[in-house]
Amino acid sequence: MTENNVVLRCRDLCKHYQQGPERLDILRQVDLTIGRGERVAVVGPSGAGKTTLLHMLGGLDVPSSGAVELAGHNLAAMNDKARSALRNRELGFVYQFHHLLGEFSAAENAAMPQLIAGKSRKQALSSAAEMLDKVGLGHRLKHRPAQLSGGERQRVAIARALINRPACVLLDEPTGNLDADTAQGVQSLLDELNREFAISLVVVTHDTALAQRMDRVLTLRNGALEVQA
């Protein structure tokens, strides 16, 4: 993989928490390289550190040691403003509990990353409508999250994650609270968007069907990545 094709990389990533006299090692020397357009699943038992890893990769939490590089920039070496701008441009996030803003419509929620990036409201809402159409929600633009089904909310979160055409989307259990049909729909949508925009995907999941669709499946156990066969 050439350097230009690397979207996200972590080297020797460690995270620990101090609890009284005890040190809890949550991530242990994780090395990981995600290529452009690559789809990677991270699996492993509950408590293995998967969500913690995803948070570190997304710059939502700070490593105890080691480095995370996004599009060639070491996140720890940047100031808050530059780091936020880079994250907003290069990354999308989809969480199990999607964190949509209840007082805003589907279109406004999906438009949020563009509004943050300084686009006009008109422009952002127009891109949001286009993206929501792509995820099959063109007819639900004005609905608020409470007026949408679980699967629809998840698709709004996916539209929001993709609206800036990020280099990489980080997903935490994207099918976790969906029924089998809707989960299948989200899987197909991710495949399609990955193909169409060459967006890299890092998916933390217990859903083996979803994990098997990725290009690589990494297993995290007790904070360390298992060596691949």
Ligand X SMILES: Nc1ncnc2c1ncn2[C@@H]1O[C@H](COP(=O)(O)OP(=O)(O)OP(=O)(O)O)[C@@H](O)[C@H]1O
Residue 24 touches ligand X, criterion: CB under 6 A = yes
Residue 111 touches ligand X, criterion: CB under 6 A = no
Rule CB under 6 A: which of 50-109 touch ligand X? 50-52
Cβ atoms of residues 27 and 37 within 8 Å: no
Stretch that binds ligand X, among 49-57, 138-146, 177-185, 194-202 (CB under 6 A): 49-57
Q: How far is the CB of 214 from ligand X (least distance, A)?
A: 17
Q: How buried is residue 134: exposed, middle or buried, by Cβ count under 10 Å (0-12/13-18/19+)?
A: middle
Residue 17 touches ligand X, criterion: CB under 6 A = yes
How many CB atoms are closer than 10 A to CB 224?
16
Q: How buried is residue 177: exposed, middle or buried, by Cβ count under 10 Å (0-12/13-18/19+)?
A: middle
Instruction: Compute the distance between CA of residue 39 and CA of residue 55 in angstroms, rounded to an integer.
Output: 17
Q: How far is the CB of 52 from ligand X (least distance, A)?
A: 3
Q: How far is the CB of 127 from ligand X (least distance, A)?
A: 32
Closer CB to ligand X, 49 or 185, in the complex:
49
Q: How far is the CB of 174 from ligand X (least distance, A)?
A: 13
Q: How far is the CB of 26 from ligand X (least distance, A)?
A: 4
3-state class (DSSP) for residue 139: helix
Lookup result for tokens 């990036």: 117
Q: Which of 8, 39, 49, 75 binds ligand X (CB under 6 A)?
A: 49
Instruction: Compute the distance between CA of residue 176 and CA of residue 43 in angstroms, rounded to an integer.
Output: 13
The site for ligand X (CB under 6 A) is made up of 17, 24, 26, 44, 46-52
